Structure 1
């Protein structure tokens, strides 16, 4: 395609050139030059909490969610429906139906608090778990945190064919000829929304995957994020090696890191297993390099100014003088009595060069960045301390304990069992074992097996740590939350370094294939409490969150053991808080009329930064204003009371977020004109416009 556009630019006729460019642009939008898959497979989601009304789009709870009807009439429990394709009129019972939303329709989401855990009442930090289809949750998160997220970590379904994920509410298995297209279509929709959450100046998207889809995923990521930098890491997750008939055993998987803006992995303190003790880069000690150049560009002719003599005292190895570069025609330096004359002669006897000029060498001596090894019998070797290594000394990673004969700094070596480094792209780390530190760790919390193939807590902890170690207030999102490992890992990071990082997790509440069969035989349907209580959000993710924060198992017994590396006892839990929310949907007309403010409170709380405990209105009658100092937010509900609101707001300078309910744009602008430094929003326009504009995506 690029070649075609280059050729078009050579057309002399500007009108013809522009017309052909327009046509090729249109063609490019229709045809992918790269990853090709079915993009327009319909994707729908059941909304069990939304009441069935006349005009609702519905499907059978036990049928295909994409096979839906329009409700024509409701008579007690009898519902008359019109099939969307055949227009056949069919009667159903009310409890057989569920409201359906097609992706791309305008939605007006809300959040309802289900539960919370508070183990740090003095802390403003609150994590959130949202029970929802993650597409709709991402639409809400875009409204709340567009461009504000520092890190997204996701462990999506791997599409192994083992019914580990659903498309249109049906499990996708290996017999589905379109399972790869469905998986890519599902991922593309969500990654497009995720892109809008990430801070374009400095953020990272981390995606784990195995060999079933890593090629497709890599192409998709490159296509969706053309301006980002991407790297794939190979990581061992099962040292025991899972045998596969007719194939090599499986012991690893892959992690894609997509870096935006200035994002890059930070150097952090790592155990020795992360880096080779044989390499030059990460010995655990300060690294001195040879002053003599090696490898490419190492001959005298490559840099004639680098061929000069260094005069060294043979008695103590002190550099006494730095000679001038020798003319091209001269190969021998002038001798000085009682001094050893050292030239950059290579092992094969050819003329080499020093890496530094005479001026740089002199400056290096003054800074303590030059030392001499050897003796007069074996000969001398000059070493230099590279600028990057010298910066480590200046930052205090190494402590200067003295100076040598050439003023070279002498440092105390750091602990040899640890090293501060950025590792390579092959990770073989014992604590990343998903059996030992995933399945068995969950076994420490649950009395029975509630989740298959959980990630190692430390594998997630480490992947995130490289990018948020220097961001103590980072916002981290996981919209394939699974068992809740990401929030657990963020709490561990905060406990280790005193950080205040916040985590938002999203998961649906699906039950396993086996559980759904059992529940169906017992006469239960999705939406029934018996069904919902066994869903992943209620049965796994939230209980794990509560237990890990409070330090006990599901039976109330103290957790056993300590966290690897930090030795923090698991029974101590974490000084942390979290709230469990469920995504629902509002009627836009009721919102516009101010009839659903109470239902919007958790959304406004999250938009204000989720500071302090989520506020709840206990009465149906709305107050004129809300000054929520503990949440650092305020809401003017009746604009008639603006003077009183403004006076109250002046008493609380720490309030950061202000919501004004008014239909008048000019009145809103007038009311907020003195609120510099605060985040201000006009209700309900800000909310309604956002989700109306997002229609059709």
Structure 2
């Protein structure tokens, strides 16, 4: 079949060649070449009207830098030299600087960007974007494109990015990510079920089916080996409990011995009853139904499907008389039974009859081994309501469940070292990283970027991280035992490209870049920064004072003497790279 669009383009391009011959002045040729460029540009994929942001305009005349806010440093673990980072400012400026310190070093990126909805969550050039704006999608895509291009550069080769999104921009984001990361690097579109349904408040739609889902787009950089997601089974026919916390291991062992016996005395059953009542459950006397279920289950490997099926058929009269089944319907009687699976694991199960739904149901009360399942790419088990308790701060919109973030951070078979969230919002990612470290003993670090729109960084993000680390809420009340980690707080600042002292102005922010790149604190004790020959000489004269010295960061322009080289033989030396601001300095003629 002929490509009609291609044929039309070729005809127009041929006509342009004729125009070039007829109009060969510079102005005409420039215009014709621009038309030719548009005709030969991309013809499949995401096409949008590119928009410029004020943050881009700012960088034409100013160089972004980080300034540390020292009074906001948090030291939750004085014994550790390692730091996490909170970067306040427009995330594009932060990403531009992270490209200098963390290119190819980020293992996981999680972002929860604006959804571009009517809820006024998308600010572009300091203005909320009206959903009726004819360029609302183009502005959102331009906004995301510039940031995702840098995000890809930051990812390590076995790194991956997770992006939360809803229906409004999902399809644009998928095409955008295909372009940035490569369609071949698409991994999954994970559907996350919300705990509560929500409607859509849009003037041009009066009614719609309530929305109960969001999405997480997952892309890899190049290579990634994914973990099989195996999580505790928290629903079994809509209900599941793992309880009996008041019962000791010895008591469970006794129950197991009794239930395994062919014949049980009334005294043994009564003793089991006394034990189970501690957890508000009762081990009833032997019944025909219970025996049939136990016998059937022991013949098969225990699983959710056949256990329910057996319970349903037995309780409804297969093996029991219709009279028993009818009486059970009327009384809504609970049937408790215990048994050992073929794997010699003890289970205690309760069954009853749902009069409303007119069918039996069952509930696991105790499982000696954890029942697990793989949710694949449909996650229905994550609660998305009542999250105000997470982090000890009040924040109505934009929070993501800690459970969701922990699972996303655990997808790779290799443990990520550095996690970046450049739409940090309330700071859920920081809490997820630190709690996950506590659970599995790993040593992940986080870097969070957020603006201070609505004072969110000062009033929500930072207080939340401080609460999680110290265990003390803003009001002084207790939140937890705390988590032993450290944090540095940076704010984006700017150096004017026309400054007469631009070289010195930029050097004044080198310390922040070093600390960020290596995740440490340059304290002039364990970690020392030396910028010129005079500082190096002074350091040599006082070397005996540096008892805990670990690393020396030396400006590449410092010329070491023979004695200084010998002095540093057993010390880690890092040369401060010229890549921090070399491009900017060359741009203004300060370097050649």
Pairwise same-fold verdict (TM > 0.5): yes
Query: 2:192 touches 2:380 (CA, 8 Å); kept in 1?
Result: yes
Q: Choose from 350, 374, 392 the match for 1:445.
A: 392
Q: 1:655 offset after TM fit, Å?
A: 3.7
In structure 2, the CA distance between the partners of 1:653 and 1:225, relative to structure 1 (3 Å rule), is farther
Matched with 1:38 is 49
Q: 1:271 offset after TM fit, Å?
A: 0.9
What is the distance in 2 between the residues matched to 1:204 and 1:540?
27
Deviates more, 1:143-152 or 1:686-695: 686-695
Matched with 2:319 is none
Q: 1:539 offset after TM fit, Å?
A: 1.1
What is the distance in 2 between the residues matched to 1:546 and 1:636?
32
Query: 2:495 touches 2:505 (CA, 8 Å); kept in 1?
Result: no
SS where residue 159 of structure 1 aligns? coil
Q: Choose from 538, 553, 562 the match for 2:458.
A: 538
Matched residue count: 427
Query: 2:65 touches 2:494 (CA, 8 Å); kept in 1?
Result: yes
Q: 1:657 offset after TM fit, Å?
A: 6.1
What is the distance in 2 between the residues matched to 1:660 and 1:29?
48
What is the distance in 2 between the residues matched to 1:596 and 1:23?
38
Q: 1:142 offset after TM fit, Å?
A: 0.7
Matched with 2:404 is 459
Matched with 1:639 is 533
State the Cα deviation string for residues 62-117 of structure 1 (Å, max 9, x = none): xxxxxxxxxxxxxxxxxxxxxxxxxxxxxxxxxxxxxx943555624122215022
Query: 1:108 touches 1:587 (CA, 8 Å); kept in 2?
Result: no
Q: 1:32 offset after TM fit, Å?
A: 4.7
Structure (1/2) with the larger strand percentage:
1
Structure (1/2) with the larger helix percentage:
2
Matched with 2:66 is 110
Matched with 1:161 is 118
Query: 2:525 touches 2:549 (CA, 8 Å); kept in 1?
Result: no
Q: 1:573 offset after TM fit, Å?
A: 1.9
Work out whether 1:135 is the aligned partner of 2:101.
no
Query: 1:242 touches 1:249 (CA, 8 Å); kept in 2?
Result: yes
Matched with 2:377 is 425
Q: 1:237 offset after TM fit, Å?
A: 2.1
Q: 1:124 offset after TM fit, Å?
A: 2.3
Query: 1:265 touches 1:422 (CA, 8 Å); kept in 2?
Result: no
Matched with 2:167 is 211
Work out whether 1:180 is the aligned partner of 2:142.
no
Work out whether 1:435 is the aligned partner of 2:395.
no
State the Cα deviation string for residues 125-168 of structure 1 (Å, max 9, x = none): 32111111000000011111110000000000000122112111
- Normalised by the size of structure 1, how large is the TM-score? 0.54
Matched with 1:552 is 472
Matched with 1:196 is 153
State the Cα deviation string for residues 412-436 of structure 1 (Å, max 9, x = none): 779776367764010111xx22212
Matched with 1:503 is 446
Once the two structures are superposed, the pairs formed by residues 371-410 of structure 1 within 5 Å of their partners are none
In structure 2, the CA distance between the partners of 1:659 and 1:491, relative to structure 1 (3 Å rule), is same
Matched with 2:484 is 575
- Normalised by the size of structure 2, how large is the TM-score? 0.63
What is the distance in 2 between the residues matched to 1:503 and 1:205?
14
Work out whether 1:658 is the aligned partner of 2:568.
no
Work out whether 1:222 is the aligned partner of 2:181.
no
In structure 2, the CA distance between the partners of 1:146 and 1:104, relative to structure 1 (3 Å rule), is farther
SS where residue 499 of structure 1 aligns? coil
User: Superposition RMSD on alpha carbons, in Å?
Assistant: 4.1
Runs (4 or more) in structure 1 with deviation over 6 Å come to 22-25, 274-277, 410-416, 649-654, 674-677
In structure 2, the CA distance between the partners of 1:682 and 1:499, relative to structure 1 (3 Å rule), is closer
What is the distance in 2 between the residues matched to 1:689 and 1:422?
49
Unpaired runs of at least 5, structure 1: 8-21, 46-99, 278-409, 512-534, 560-570, 616-626
Matched with 1:686 is 579
SS where residue 168 of structure 2 aligns? coil
Q: 1:651 offset after TM fit, Å?
A: 8.1
